[in-house]
């Protein structure tokens, strides 16, 4: 039997106690559709940004403590986490404190992305799944707050956690003067701040 890529996600959560998607939605079957990325600001026990890429029917996920940068000189730590279901991409709400990942989640940016990996000596471009397995992803984001190329490179493993570096590529969208995690701090879906999301949805199961 094929491994369920979302089993770890489900094992960590109690469906009756969290408003997060259960992960039961079938993967998209439109192969022509561009894959999506999402960055969610997660105000949990330690605030961070969850960077997610659609690969092989799930959202491959990394926790980025300092958030994404538009400065190519910045090398942001990105800690790989469990795969998330695709319908998590537009999840915005409050996870109860007693549950795994308890805290407020905001959709900070979302949009399509491209595989920006160059061809090898044989003219072949590795798929996103192959690049993830090899530990080096190069993608081009088409978001509202972030655009252009980003590289994710696996550089070490601590325990069962693969640790990567998220780096902005030096392209037309690079800007060392911008600090989007500070200056663009509102949901791209609803325009709400994390405090507004917490105030409006904090009592929901």
Residue ranges of E strands in the chain: 36-43, 48-55, 58-64, 76-84, 93-95, 103-115, 136-142, 147-158, 161-168
- Residue 112 CB contacts under 8 Å (≥ 6 apart), including other chains: 34, 35, 36, 37, 142
Which DSSP letter does residue 121 get? T
- Residue spans per domain, the chain: 34-201
pLDDT, position 125? 86
pLDDT, position 1? 47
Asked if 91 and 64 touch (Cβ cutoff 8 Å), the reply is: no
Taking the C-alpha atoms of residue 70 and residue 120, their distance in angstroms, rounded to an integer, is: 27
pLDDT, position 45? 86
- Residue 114 CB contacts under 8 Å (≥ 6 apart), including other chains: 34, 139, 140, 142
**Tens of each residue's pLDDT in the chain, 205 residues:** 457 889 999 999 998 899 999 887 766 666 668 999 999 999 988 899 999 999 999 999 999 999 999 999 999 999 999 999 999 999 999 999 999 899 999 999 999 999 998 778 787 889 999 999 999 999 999 999 999 999 999 999 988 889 999 999 999 999 999 999 999 999 999 999 999 999 998 765 5
Residue 104 β-bridge partners:
43, 94
Whether the model clears a pTM of 0.85, i.e. scores above it, the answer is yes
pLDDT, position 160? 86
């Amino acid at each position: 039997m094929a491994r369920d890529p979302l089993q770890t996600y489900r094992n960590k959560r109690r469906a009756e106690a969290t408003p997060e998607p259960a992960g039961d939605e079938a993967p998209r079957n439109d192969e022509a559709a561009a894959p999506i990325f999402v960055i969610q600001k997660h105000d949990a026990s330690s605030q961070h940004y969850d960077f997610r890429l659609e690969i092989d029917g799930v959202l491959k996920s990394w926790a980025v403590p300092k958030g994404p940068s538009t400065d190519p000189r910045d090398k942001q730590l990105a800690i790989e986490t469990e795969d998330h279901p695709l319908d998590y991409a537009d999840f915005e709400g409050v996870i109860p404190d007693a549950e795994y990942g308890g805290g407020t989640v905001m959709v900070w940016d979302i949009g399509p992305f491209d595989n920006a990996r160059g061809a090898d000596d044989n003219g072949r471009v590795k798929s996103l799944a192959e690049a993830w397995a090899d530990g080096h992803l190069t993608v081009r984001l088409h978001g509202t707050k972030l655009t252009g190329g980003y590289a994710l490179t696996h550089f070490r493993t601590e325990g069962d956690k693969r640790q990567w570096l998220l780096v902005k590529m030096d392209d037309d969208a690079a800007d060392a003067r911008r600090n989007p995690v500070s200056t663009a701090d509102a949901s791209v879906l609803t325009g709400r701040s994390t405090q507004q999301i917490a105030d409006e949805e904090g009592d929901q199961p």
